[in-house]
Every structure is written in structure tokens, then in C-alpha cells.
Structure 1
């Protein structure tokens, strides 16, 4: 008899409207975990599962464009990660709008599967470049993306944080998408 415990099936698929509650909880938990030292507490308090769920439900029911996609990573029936992509204002350039994995499910390949699926989806829609804006203090995400070939190009922006007077510095990472 083996002492190895079977691992649940891991996959990435297009998100469904019925995934919105799981996506909302996951994003709220991940952002509170990842940005508790970066975002002001009053801003974090506004980032509730209900807020994210409502946003995901609306965008899944009526996507902003035909190119926008939300993807989820699963372990068995459980949603453990999510990614969202969409177009930028520049033709042929897509944006990785969100990429996050449940902190308890990290380092199991979900982020890589999500990023690969996002790039494949953009490639299938004739995009030639992917961009992502990442908080300058988010070393973990930046390191992950850079290891995958998505590198800083020197651009940055300061994002307003709701009613907070604080600004969040984000850096832009880019990579070419090669048609295979």
C-alpha cells in the first residue's frame, strides 16, 4: 500500500457566472493576504467578497467586450485561482487584468496554468503582446511573471485608491506573444 495521497485534478477553464461567488471570495482573501502591508486598512476593508462577487457576476453576464475573458484554475470542483484578460487601447496588445491564486493553493502550478491559458487565449485572438500592471511592492507576482518572461519595460503609474489620499505605484510588465 502506498503512502502517497492522490492529488485532485487540476485544470483551467473559462469562468462561468455560477463561479462568481467563489471568485469573489478567492479574490478578497488573496488581496487581503497579499496587500495587507501595501494598501491602507480602509481600502482593504472595502474589498469584500460581496463586492468582488458582484463585479465578477456582472462582467461574466455582460463582458465589456468579446475579447474579455475570465479563467479559473480548479482543483477538483474547487476554484483555487483566477485570471482575467482584455484588450488595451493599442491594437494587438492584450492585458492581464487579474492573476491570483488562493494563498493555500500556491506553488502547485495553478498560476502557471492560468498564465499559459491567458496567453493562449490572447494568441488565439491575434494578440501579439501581453501587458500586466503590478503593484511595485508585489515582489511575489513580479518575480513569478518575470520568470515566465513577462518583464518590466520601465513604465509605471500611480493609481488612486478610492477615497484614500494614498496612491499605489504600479509597474508595467510586457512580453511578446509568438504564434506557434
Structure 2
């Protein structure tokens, strides 16, 4: 494998982050999300939101050689993403982070996701976070398996999103931020 690394995203990365987002969703979620939703993912429309996240320092990117192959968005979790099923907030709500790791499938199974999650966890710990959460489509076995390897497990909270009239059930996984890379 060529040199693999994780670094903070830069403004020049925005277009590639938006492309990876679009292409990965179109590949990974083609059986979970209606084709119209996936076809509507447009790099030009999502790039401004990615630019804002990059500017805010919330995005890390994984590289292999000269290629950008994945990214992780991580920051303080909004109350809605941390709340229990009954709407109440757990005692650690203020120190819980929301994390989203996405690696383009053709670059999968090469350790990029683990490097991204470990780097994000280290940054989040330095910022005072004590726990991380991520939302994953319940039927997405690759993502649930990935988080399980990091000992992030479903915490019993689910949500159902409306994807053009087709329900998409997501589970929330949660885990610690003391992650070590293993070979």
C-alpha cells in the first residue's frame, strides 16, 4: 500500500470531499435509499456545506499516496443527536461528540476508516469530549461492523428518516474515545 495518512482537511479538499460523499452514498446505500434521493446528491449543492465544515476545522481526510480516499466529520454533538429515546439528555451530553466516517468503497478494508476514527477520537479527547456517537443505517452491515471493531455499540436509540416516502431506520452507536490502532 502507498503511504497512508490522516490530516486536517483544507479548502482545496472540498470538491473531492463532496464527490466522495456523493459516490459513496450512491454505492453503499443504493439498496437502502431511493434512487431519486441518490441521483439528487449534487457536488455543487453540497460543497458549500462541506466548505463550512472544513473551515470550522471539523473535517479530517484520509489519503493514500496522492489520493484523498475518505473523511471524518467530528465535533460537539447537537442535543437531538445525544438525547435518549424519551428526549431527555444524558449526564455526559455536553461532552459527547458526533462522528461520521466515510471511506470510498474502492479504498475500503485498508485501514483508512480506523485511522480516521482514531485521529478524530484523539482530537475530540483533547477538546474535552468523553464519548462519541454516530448514526448508521440499521441495514448497513459494513458500517455497523466497522464501529463494532472500535467497540462502539448500539445504545438502543433509533430514528426513522423519510427518504421520499421510504423509511430509513438508523441506529445510534456509541463508544469511548480511547482508540488505538492495531496492525
TM-score normalised according to structure 2 size = 0.85
Q: C-alpha distance in 2, partners of 1:148/1:95?
A: 15
Give every structure 1 segment of 4 or more consecutive aligned residues whose post-TM-superposition deviation is greater than 6 Å.
none
Q: C-alpha distance in 1, partners of 2:72/2:159?
A: 21
1:77 aligns with 2:49: no
The CA RMSD measured in Å over matched residues stands at 1.8
Structure 2 partner of 1:91:
94
Q: C-alpha distance in 2, partners of 1:19/1:131?
A: 25
122, 129, 132: which one pairs with 1:130? 132
Shift in alpha-carbon separation, 1:146–1:60, aligned structure 2, 3 A: same
How far apart are residue 86 of structure 1 and its match? 1.6
1:38 aligns with 2:41: no
Summarize deviations over 1:37-57 as a string: whole Å, max 9, x none: 000111111112323323212
| Gap regions ≥5 residues in structure 1 | 1-6
Contact 1:133 1:173 in 2 (8 A): yes
How far apart are residue 178 of structure 1 and its match? 4.5
1:10 aligns with 2:12: no
Structure 2 partner of 1:29:
23
Q: C-alpha distance in 2, partners of 1:122/1:43?
A: 32
Q: Secondary structure at the match of 1:91?
A: helix
Contact 1:93 1:130 in 2 (8 A): yes
Say which is worse superposed, 45-54 or 124-133, in terms of deviation.
45-54
Contact 2:76 2:98 in 1 (8 A): yes
1:171 aligns with 2:171: yes
Structure 2 partner of 1:4:
none
| Gap regions ≥5 residues in structure 2 | 80-92
